[in-house]
Each structure stands twice: as structure tokens, then as C-alpha cells.
Amino acid sequence: MLIHAQIMEMELETDLPLSNSLVDMYANCGALQDACKVLERSTEKNVVTWNALIAGCTKHSDFEAALNCLKVMHGQSVPPNDVTFVSILSLCNHLGLVHEALFHLTSMTNTYYILPRYEHYMCTLDLLGRAGFFDEAEDIVNTMPLCPDFIALASLLNHCKTYKNTELAGPYFNGIVSFDSRSALSFVNMLDIYDSEGVKEYSDLLEGIRHNANAWKKPGMACLEIEDEKYSFVVGDNKTSEQIDGVSAKLKSLTALLREEGYLPQAVFGSIHPLSL
């Protein structure tokens, strides 16, 4: 606020780079109404101005406000660019808005003549996989001009595990090992899929391939220091069973106390009130 006050005192608020910086600052801090006030007072606005505000809406999960920004941009003949749609699709992904994401991905090329980049496809593929829309995800994989990379395929394989989709899991896994034949997590996910479906012959075969490829995860480790004494806990290490038993018992008692107090984990954050521009 002090910097903003100095800018106003020097009558520099109408300077476009400074105005954009103020919008970005307020939007990132969650003060979206203040960001809107700066935008309204600005005599000149460009796509950077609007992108800063839309990015703030994305950061604070306000989809209605982000859409409203797009409408106002259209009304003021300020065309969005690829950065605009990274924010929009990221927000759709975060909120699980499948149909809205597909609409905006299509509108990029059909309405605004913007060629989607890797980030746009990745946001949409991850959303479709999380929502179980594998047919739509396959359509994008087969038609997009970019080849899906390791991260995209690993994400889709993980979602196949969630929905027990063995039909698509195989091709995704094959694509992953073509990038990294020792991807331990991908072997684990594929084995879990086969085990959940009871396909023992495939599971045994894959276990053998995994062994030959030496695709093993390093065991997780946690270290604590209490009163100048260090403790380490390694996944699968039975030598620390006495410590593990004590820690597990304490965690269970804490969990029970939290539930008695009415605590429940929050999976989705509430959005702020929509903005009016």
C-alpha cells in the first residue's frame, strides 16, 4: 500500500508497466477487489494487465471472476493469448471442471487462433485423467501435434490405477519405459493395476522385467533430532520396529483426538466472492 500511495502521489498510476505491476501485486496477494480498482483507474490496459488479474483469480480459485475477465476483454477488443489460457485451464484442472476445460481448449484454436502449447495439453490431460474421462484423454493424445512426454504418460498411468483401467494402462506404461526403462514408480503402478484385476500371469511377467531392469525405488527416510539425539526411520527397516510402534501409536491417538474435536481434512478450498468489473 505504501508503494501504491507513492505511485499515486507522483501521478504515475496511469503508467502501463506500473499499473500492470500493481494489478499483479494485489492479485497475487488475494486482494482482487483492489486489483480491479487499479485496473479500472488505468487509462490503458493490455493483455498483460488482464493476465495478471486472471492469474490472481486462478491462484484463489475464483472461476466466475476469471470468466468475467475474459468477457470484459472480449468486449474491450483485447484478445487473450496463450498465457491467458494457461491460467484458465489450470483453474479448470484445480476445480475439476472437465467440460469447461474442453470448451476453452477448443476455443483457443477455433475462436482465437492460438496454437495450444504443452502446458495447455498437460493441464487438460491431467484433469481428464483425474475425472476418469479416458476416451476424451485418448482423443487429445492421438490428435495433439505434440508427443506426450514422460510426465504426461506417468500422470495418465496413475489415473488408470485409480480407475482400474487396464486397457489404457498398458500403452501408457510402454510409453513411459520408452523414456525411462527403470521408472520404479511406473512399475509399481502397473503391478498394482494387474494385482487389483487379479491378472497374476501378467503381474509375474512384469515383476521379472522389473527385476531385470533393476527398477527399484530408494526407500523413504525421515530424520529427527530431539535433545541432541538423532533418530532415523527408513521404510521397510525392521530394526527400528520399537520406535515405529511408538510413533504409530502416538499418531493414532492424535488422530482420534482430532476427530473428537471435529477436525476433518479439507480436500477443496472455498472460492472467494466473484468480482464485478
Per-residue pLDDT reduced to its tens digit, 150-169: 999 999 999 999 999 999 99
C-alpha to C-alpha distance for 206 and 222, rounded to whole angstroms: 30
182 and 243 part of one domain:
no
121-to-16, 262, 263 alpha-carbon distances in Å: 32, 40, 37
Domain boundary among 24, 46, 79: 79
Mean pLDDT of the chain: 85
Give the least confident one: 11-25, 70-84, 201-215, 249-263: 11-25
Give the model's pLDDT for residue 87.
96
Residue 104 within a domain: no
Give the model's pLDDT for residue 88.
96
| Residue 44, C-alpha cell as written in the block | 490503458
201 and 225 part of one domain:
no
Give the model's pLDDT for residue 69.
93
200 and 235 part of one domain:
no
Quick one: which H or E segment has residue 229?
strand 229-234
Q: Is 24 helix (H, G, I), strand (E, B) or coil?
A: helix
182 and 229 part of one domain:
no
Residue 35 within a domain: yes
164 and 230 part of one domain:
no
Quick one: which H or E segment has residue 272?
none
User: Taking residues 103-129, what's their average pLDDT?
Assistant: 96
167 and 211 part of one domain:
yes
Q: Which residues pair with 226 in a beta bridge?
A: 229
Confidence category of residue 178, pLDDT binned at 50, 70, 90: very high
Residue 197 within a domain: yes
199 and 166 part of one domain:
yes
6 and 55 part of one domain:
yes
C-alpha to C-alpha distance for 58 and 92, rounded to whole angstroms: 9
198 and 250 part of one domain:
no
Which one of 120-129, 232-241, 255-264 scores highest in mean pLDDT?
Answer: 120-129
240 and 169 part of one domain:
no
| Residue 152, C-alpha cell as written in the block | 504426461
Give the model's pLDDT for residue 271.
37
Give the model's pLDDT for residue 119.
95
227 and 176 part of one domain:
no
Residue 105 within a domain: no
Residue 263 within a domain: no
Give which of 138, 191, 131 is closest to 161, Cα–Cα. Answer: 191
Q: Does the structure show a pLDDT above 60 at 15?
A: yes
Residue 103 within a domain: no
C-alpha to C-alpha distance for 182 and 81, rounded to whole angstroms: 39
Residue 46 within a domain: yes
197 and 228 part of one domain:
no
**Could you list the residue range(s) of the whole structural domain that residue 18 is in?**
1-79
What digits encode the pLDDT tens for the residues 187-205? 999 999 999 888 888 899 9
Q: Does the structure show a pLDDT above 70 at 272?
A: no
**Structural domains of the chain, count:** 3
What is the maximum alpha-carbon separation in the chain? 76
Residue 140 within a domain: no
Give the model's pLDDT for residue 200.
87
Predicted TM-score (pTM) of the model is 0.74
